[in-house]
Amino acid sequence: MKADAVRRFRRRARSGEPSLGLWLTLESASPAECAVALGLDWIVIDAEHGHLDWNDVLQHIRATVRSETVTLVRIAELNGALIKRVLDIGADGVVIPWIETPEQLTQAVRWAHYPPYGRRGIGAERATGWGQCIPGHVQEADSQVLVVPLIESVTAGQNIDPLLDVPGVETFFFGPADYSSAAGYPGMWEGPGVADAILEAARHIRGRGKQCGVMITDNADLERRLEQGFRMLGLGTDVGLMLRSLHESLSLVGRDSRILPGLSPEESAADGSIDRPLERPPESMRPDRAEVLIRPGEGSRLEIAPGIEFETAVGGGIGARDLTTGTVAFAPGAKLPYHTHPFDESMTLLRGEIEVEIEGRVYNLHRLDNITVPRGTAHAAINRSAERPAVLHIAMATANPTRESATPPAFRRAMADDVHGLVGPEYVTRFELARRYSPGNGARFVDYCNADLLPGAAISGGYGLFTPAGRLTAHLHDFDESICIIEGEATCVVEGRRYRPADGATAFAPRGRVHYFVNESETEMAMIWFYAGPYPERIVVAERCATLEGDLWKE
């Protein structure tokens, strides 16, 4: 083992400095060498999931020899034979899954130590210099070996205090996905209540002077976890980081796609071909309407309840089909009573505070949180503030909105701020918890609703953030689109015609119009976009199709 690397790792933990690492799942030892060359503080070799065999594990360990990168191995289960073996081939410590009780953790620590305290056998293997330095290694290993339990179940979180009483353990690592599964939300990273439970357990860990760790989902999540007090931070897995980079590059040229469970490329055309930029738009999508830029104050206004005004941006009045968007302003204390729509509705909080109630489930929305309500679902909203107005961005799957009064439910239940995902018939997006992805260079998007997130949804939409020079490729849609610029200034190019929407202005791109957005300013630009279709599908075309010279519709 590398005792100096372990001592350095522990010094960082005691001082509160972050330690950054990489999770290894690929059989090649090159990612481990890259981690060492970049000066990462630790790696975890994943021998619980995937296909790594003992030789693969050994080669990863060898790639870190004589470095300051701590090498940990995640074993498949709490098993003395596995713990002994990974330590014998030279690992600096073990990561043990599904630890829930102090008895289990005590057993793990004993298997990682030599007698008289532990039960690790002495072997003439790599860790002891093939038997040449047994006395020195035994003493060094007992004082330096790292045992890192994974806290990945509700039971483990509830038992965190007795787990902290077990001697010989200084670092606890959380597994949010398994924790969510144990809480009844399989497939979610942090299901309802899980984020708070993890933060509470982490608070107890830090209170005992110990270190807690977690994997991050992206760079924004790295900053958030640091603020939350996590100090052992996994930057990603080797394959996950590779795929993240591939998605971003493929998005830049309009070639991004999902990986399907069968591992075949995603089919996006009838002939099974993959999306590639088309030389020209399909003739069947020749547009019959012009684009429109709607600035705040230019849309029609309607008082839909006392103190509540809806200003339409996109809708039937400008020729939109199956889509209405706009803003709803709530005066302080204003209440929109229970009602239903014969279409889907999506609400995003832009300013102030708003409480949305759906069939008795009460959600307190924060800025950029979204709730999408399916057709026929009774809901209401109220601005609880007595001083501040509130503003929502609204999207509806119709060009001619209507509503019917509904009877309030007999019971109300306040929903936690970390409830995220499909809850009842509605889909709730907590902006801080939402998955980010990149559909283009310098663009980071969040999906609020689509037919994958909300089965049966007739609209799709979300949030987009563009850094300076960030842009999307030239494209068109088989449905109408609304794009509201909520921060900064955008440049919208429609077949060579340039617009500069800002300060709440909305661009309407009808079906078939080739367009793209770019941030030509020196500050970030953000938008809320919605499609009159169930999936956020783009048809990418050659860039010249978005120029005056390349506009083929004028033929």
Mean pLDDT of 9-21: 96
Q: How is residue 407 written in tokens?
A: 């009877």
Query: How far, in Å, CA of 455 to CA of 222, rounded?
Result: 31
pLDDT beyond 60 at 270: no
What are the residue ranges of helices labelled H in 183-300? 194-207, 219-227, 238-252
Pairing outcome for strands 354-358 and 379-382: antiparallel
Q: Is the pTM of this model over 0.75?
A: no
| 225 backbone dihedrals φ, ψ, rounded to 5° | -65, -35
pLDDT beyond 90 at 342: yes
> Residues in the chain, how many?
555
Portion of the chain with pLDDT greater than 70, in percent: 94
**With left for phi above 0 and alpha for psi between -120 and 50, is residue 231 left, alpha or beta?**
alpha
Query: How far, in Å, CA of 230 to CA of 211, rounded?
Result: 7
Give me the pLDDT at residue 551, please. Answer: 59
Q: What is the pLDDT of residues 430-455, one digit of tens each?
A: 999 998 888 877 899 999 999 999 99
**With left for phi above 0 and alpha for psi between -120 and 50, is residue 168 left, alpha or beta?**
left
pLDDT beyond 60 at 555: no
Query: How far, in Å, CA of 222 to CA of 431, rounded?
Result: 16
Tell me which amino acid residue 28 is: S
Mean pLDDT of 505-515: 96
What's 126's DSSP letter?
Answer: G
Give 11's contacts (C-beta < 8 A, 6+ positions apart).
none
Give me the pLDDT at residue 277, please. Answer: 74
Q: Among all residues, which ones are annotated catalytic?
A: 49
CATH number belonging to the domain at 292-554, selected among 1.10.3720.10, 3.40.50.970, 2.60.120.10, 1.10.8.350: 2.60.120.10
Q: What is the pLDDT of residues 391-435, one digit of tens each?
A: 999 999 999 999 999 999 999 999 999 889 998 899 999 999 998
Q: What is the pLDDT of residues 156-166, one digit of tens each?
A: 999 999 999 99
278: β partners: 541
pLDDT beyond 70 at 254: no
Give me the pLDDT at residue 405, please. Answer: 96
Give me the pLDDT at residue 554, please. Answer: 62
- Contact present, 492 and 507 (Cβ < 8 Å): yes
Residue 113: alpha-carbon gap to chain centroid: 39
Residues of the chain with CATH 2.60.120.10: 292-554
Q: Is 345 exposed, middle or buried (0-12, 13-18, 19+ CB in 10 A)?
A: buried
Query: How far, in Å, CA of 544 to CA of 549, rounded?
Result: 7
pLDDT class of 274 with cuts at 50, 70, 90: very low
Residues of the chain with CATH 3.20.20.60: 3-246
Q: What is the pLDDT of residues 212-252, one digit of tens each?
A: 999 998 887 899 899 999 999 999 999 989 988 887 787 66
Mean pLDDT of 157-176: 97
- Of 17, 11, 7, nearest to 231 (Cα)? 17
3-246 CATH fold: TIM Barrel (3.20.20)
pLDDT class of 299 with cuts at 50, 70, 90: very high
